[in-house]
């Protein structure tokens, strides 16, 4: 029997969390060290995992483990990874390591609970990417919810309790209907196995139930992505969360919904997807709304952190658009569909590193100035040159500058969409224009250029070493992936091709 690396990745953060529970509350140094150490171990394991998956082939589910969990209900502990989930697991482990390292220098209050919750969160997040059983997926989905709820509520900003409960209610409201759909699917097919279900196509004959079940699942995913008009929890949660919480929210939690769409939503209900893209185009319209509306709100936004939060709505809109394009495919347009989904998957990864970096940087500025009002800044480029340089790269990556990681997702999404849903592609491109406008005008100009208020900001210090350590890995990734996207793209591509190949 081979080493169960997936279970090991899953359990490492949990072990760390439990270990932290027995460390005395006063021993803050040890707690921080243990927390970061376990995050690093997970990251190392995730790296080994990625190498293993590349060796075995990223196009199929690898390293599958399957044991009965609750035999009475036919629920299995069934995990496995392919080229789609592996990079996202790696991204989770990376962002968690950086977030906890950064927090070790920032968080002074209730450190024990903080590290406990973050490590618990990591287990929940990784579990979602691993699960191949619908109920297991659901359980991990909800496990991730509780720690983030407490993180926002305890360590958040001024309106933290409002943001926390809003986040909790939105997510849970979506997921309970997903649970109903999951049980209904079971009664139709007799299995919770995601791989098996993609083959069986639940409710192929029953239009009413196919509608109910697919919308039940999509609602949960769409809230998490988030798709307009279900996005209103996001700005509050992202803005009020502590920096590390925002990084994990934007970097990974949004990807859970997207991953659910790719792994469950599309494979189980391709016909329903096609119907709501081509015949009744609700989904592409909502995707376009997310892109254009999200970008327009950014243009009107004066709160730095809220601006970045809304930019996530717009950026995840590209993902949804790519998904819609893929759903609209026919036998002749298979290549375009693959291209669109490649771009969508790439968006998940690149948005994770870029927005993760942006939230780090916004948090660092806020730590120094205690304001997020864009109008209060100006001319900071001279005072904080390193900070300026880092922010500039992430900001340009965010607007999709060629040579940086963000570019490839937009290129592939629009390449696919232009062929499959031309009208949607033309409207979607508008979003890119607005993005360029708010990035250059709002972020760059208002914060870094213009007149410098020496009285107010004369004492600002540039980034400390540990702040650089937290951000530079993401910066390097952004540049490397921007210049040489081929390996990661190949990984995604083999998984996506396999995924689409199975569908009717």
The count of chain residues that interact with other proteins, using the rule CB under 8 A, is 32
164 binds other proteins (CB under 8 A): yes
143 binds other proteins (CB under 8 A): yes
Non-local CB neighbours of 239 within 8 Å, separated by 6+ positions: 157, 163, 246, 303, 305, 306, 309, 372
Non-local CB neighbours of 394 within 8 Å, separated by 6+ positions: 354, 357, 358, 361, 474, 475, 478
Which of 153, 270, 378, 485 contacts other proteins by CB under 8 A?
153
Contacting range for other proteins; rule: CB under 8 A; set: 92-100, 150-158, 328-336, 452-460: 150-158
- What Cα–Cα distance (Å) separates residue 210 from each residue in 19, 175, 218, 273, 384? 45, 17, 12, 11, 56
Least distance between other proteins and beta carbon 169 (Å): 6
169 binds other proteins (CB under 8 A): yes
Of residues 80 through 139, those in contact with other proteins by CB under 8 A are: 135, 138-139
Which of 172, 195, 296, 472 contacts other proteins by CB under 8 A?
172
Least distance between other proteins and beta carbon 226 (Å): 17
469 binds other proteins (CB under 8 A): no
Non-local CB neighbours of 149 within 8 Å, separated by 6+ positions: 164, 165, 167, 168
SS3 content of the chain, % helix, strand, coil (to 5): 80, 5, 15
190 binds other proteins (CB under 8 A): no
Query: Which C-beta is closer to other proteins: that of 167 or that of 319?
Result: 167
Contacting range for other proteins; rule: CB under 8 A; set: 66-74, 321-329, 339-347, 419-427: 66-74
165 binds other proteins (CB under 8 A): yes
Which of 11, 40, 106, 212 contacts other proteins by CB under 8 A?
212
DSSP state of 64: E
Contacting range for other proteins; rule: CB under 8 A; set: 78-86, 161-169, 294-302, 468-476: 161-169
Query: Which C-beta is closer to other proteins: that of 144 or that of 257?
Result: 144
Contacting range for other proteins; rule: CB under 8 A; set: 86-94, 166-174, 344-352, 399-407: 166-174
DSSP lists the bridge partners of residue 407 as none
Rg (CA), the chain: 22
Contacting range for other proteins; rule: CB under 8 A; set: 162-170, 228-236, 388-396, 484-492: 162-170
Put residue 63 in one of left, alpha, beta given phi > 0 → left and psi -120 to 50 → alpha.
Answer: left
Centre a 10 Å sphere on the Cβ of residue 19 and count the other Cβ atoms it contains.
18
455 binds other proteins (CB under 8 A): no
Query: Which C-beta is closer to other proteins: that of 70 or that of 335?
Result: 70
Query: Which C-beta is closer to other proteins: that of 69 or that of 366?
Result: 69
Query: Which C-beta is closer to other proteins: that of 35 or that of 174?
Result: 174
Query: Which C-beta is closer to other proteins: that of 165 or that of 278?
Result: 165
Least distance between other proteins and beta carbon 172 (Å): 6
Encoded one letter per residue, x for contact with other proteins by CB under 8 A and - for no contact, window 72-91 reads: xx------------------
DSSP state of 227: P
150 binds other proteins (CB under 8 A): yes
Q: Confirm if 477 and 405 have CB atoms less than 8 A apart.
A: yes
Nearest to 126, CA basis, from 216, 262, 5, 35: 5
Axis-axis angle for helices 304-327, 334-369 (nearest 10): 170
- What Cα–Cα distance (Å) separates residue 228 from each residue in 102, 321, 427? 32, 12, 16
39 binds other proteins (CB under 8 A): no
465 binds other proteins (CB under 8 A): no
Length of the chain equals: 504
Helices (H), 399-464: 405-420, 422-437, 454-457
Least distance between other proteins and beta carbon 186 (Å): 8
- What's the per-residue H, E or C state across 66-83? EEEEEHHHCEEEEEEECC
11 binds other proteins (CB under 8 A): no
| Contact residues for other proteins, defined by CB under 8 A | 68-73, 135, 138-139, 142-143, 146, 150, 153-154, 160-161, 164-165, 168-169, 172-173, 176-177, 179-180, 183-184, 186-187, 212
């Amino acid at each position: 029997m081979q080493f169960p690396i997936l279970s090991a990745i899953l359990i490492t953060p949990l072990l760390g969390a439990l270990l932290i529970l027995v460390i005395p509350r006063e021993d803050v140094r040890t707690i921080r060290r243990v927390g970061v150490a376990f995050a690093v171990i997970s990251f190392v394991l995730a790296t080994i995992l990625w190498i293993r998956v590349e060796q075995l082939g990223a196009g199929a589910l690898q390293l599958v483990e399957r044991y009965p969990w609750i035999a009475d209900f036919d629920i299995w502990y069934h995990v496995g990874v392919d080229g789609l989930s592996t990079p996202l697991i790696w991204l989770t482990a990376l962002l968690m390591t950086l977030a906890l390292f950064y927090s070790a220098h920032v968080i002074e209050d209730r450190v024990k609970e903080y590290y406990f919750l973050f490590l618990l969160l990591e287990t929940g997040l990784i579990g979602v990417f691993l699960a191949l059983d619908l109920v297991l997926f659901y359980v991990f989905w909800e496990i991730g919810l509780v720690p983030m709820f407490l993180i926002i509520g305890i360590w958040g900003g001024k309106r933290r309790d409002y943001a926390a409960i809003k986040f909790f209610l939105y997510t849970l409201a979506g997921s309970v209907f997903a649970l109903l759909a999951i049980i209904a699917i079971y009664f139709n097919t007799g299995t919770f196995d995601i791989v098996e279900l993609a083959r069986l196509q639940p409710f192929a004959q029953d239009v009413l139930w196919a509608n109910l079940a697919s919308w039940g699942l999509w609602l949960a995913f769409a809230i998490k992505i988030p798709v307009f008009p279900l996005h209103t929890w996001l700005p509050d949660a992202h803005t009020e969360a502590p920096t590390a919480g925002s990084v994990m929210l934007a970097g990974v939690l949004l990807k859970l919904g997207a991953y659910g769409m790719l792994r469950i939503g599309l494979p189980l209900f391709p016909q329903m997807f096609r119907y709501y893209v081509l015949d009744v185009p609700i989904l592409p319209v909502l995707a376009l709304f997310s892109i254009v509306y999200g970008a327009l709100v950014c243009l009107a936004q004066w709160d730095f952190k809220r601006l970045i939060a809304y930019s996530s709505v717009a950026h995840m809109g590209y993902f949804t658009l790519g998904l819609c394009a893929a759903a609209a495919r026919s036998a002749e347009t298979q290549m375009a569909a693959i291209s669109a989904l490649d771009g969508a998957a790439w968006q998940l990864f690149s948005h994770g590193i870029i927005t993760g970096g942006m939230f780090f940087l916004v948090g660092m500025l806020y730590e120094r100035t205690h304001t997020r009002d864009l109008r209060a800044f100006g001319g900071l480029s001279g005072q904080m040159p390193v900070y300026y340089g880092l922010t500039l790269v992430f900001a340009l990556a965010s607007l999709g500058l060629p040579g940086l990681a963000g570019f490839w997702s937009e290129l592939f999404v629009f390449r696919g969409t232009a062929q499959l849903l031309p009208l949607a592609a033309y409207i979607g491109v508008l979003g890119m224009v607005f993005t360029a406008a708010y990035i250059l005008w709002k972020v760059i100009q208002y914060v870094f250029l213009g007149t410098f208020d020496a009285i107010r900001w004369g004492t600002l210090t540039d980034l400390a070493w540990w702040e650089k350590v937290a951000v530079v890995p993401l910066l390097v990734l952004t540049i490397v992936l921007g210049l040489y996207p081929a390996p990661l793209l190949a990984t995604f591509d083999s998984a996506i091709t396999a995924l689409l190949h199975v569908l009717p």
